[in-house]
């Protein structure tokens, strides 16, 4: 189950990073804001795959989707906060704290989605 979650998460993460890099490099959006926007886009991309393939959930969309979005929003806030802290407070390149945020959100998201969103 975790392997499928990681695979779908990789796809969602690719969406996340594409949005992040385009917003920062092309549109000059603040890296913390771009990280949060990218995380939300990636979460939406991963919802259907996780619902159908990872957790094989029969939970109604009206219950599961809001829960999934709450988990995603928490991940986006964590991601944005870590990237903002890394770039603003520590002065490091935005991709370094983003990698840390990705790892933390992966584990926390799996636990929350397994035991709450799709339960």
User: How far apart (Å, rounded) are the C-alpha atoms in residues 104 and 66?
Assistant: 21
The token pair that represents 86 in the structure block = 């890394």
- Position 40 scores a pLDDT of 82
45 touches 13 (CB < 8 A): no
Task: For residue 54, name the pLDDT band (cuts at 50, 70, 90).
Answer: very high
Q: Is the pLDDT of residue 43 over 90?
A: no
Q: Is the pLDDT of residue 76 over 90?
A: no
What's the chain's length in residues? 119
When pLDDT is averaged across residues 65-93 and rounded to a whole number, the result is 94
- Phi/psi of residue 106, each to 5°? -60, -50
């Amino acid at each position: 189950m975790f392997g499928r979650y990681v695979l779908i998460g990789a796809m969602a993460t690719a969406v996340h990073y594409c949005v992040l890099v385009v917003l920062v490099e092309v549109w000059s959006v603040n890296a913390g804001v771009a990280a949060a926007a990218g995380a939300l886009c990636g979460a939406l991309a991963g919802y259907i795959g996780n619902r159908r393939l990872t957790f094989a959930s029969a939970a109604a969309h009206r219950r599961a989707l809001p829960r999934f979005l709450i988990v995603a929003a928490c991940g986006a806030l964590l991601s944005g906060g870590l990237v903002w802290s890394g770039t603003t407070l520590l002065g490091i390149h935005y991709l370094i704290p983003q990698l840390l945020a990705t790892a933390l959100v992966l584990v926390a998201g799996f636990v929350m989605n397994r035991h709450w969103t799709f339960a």
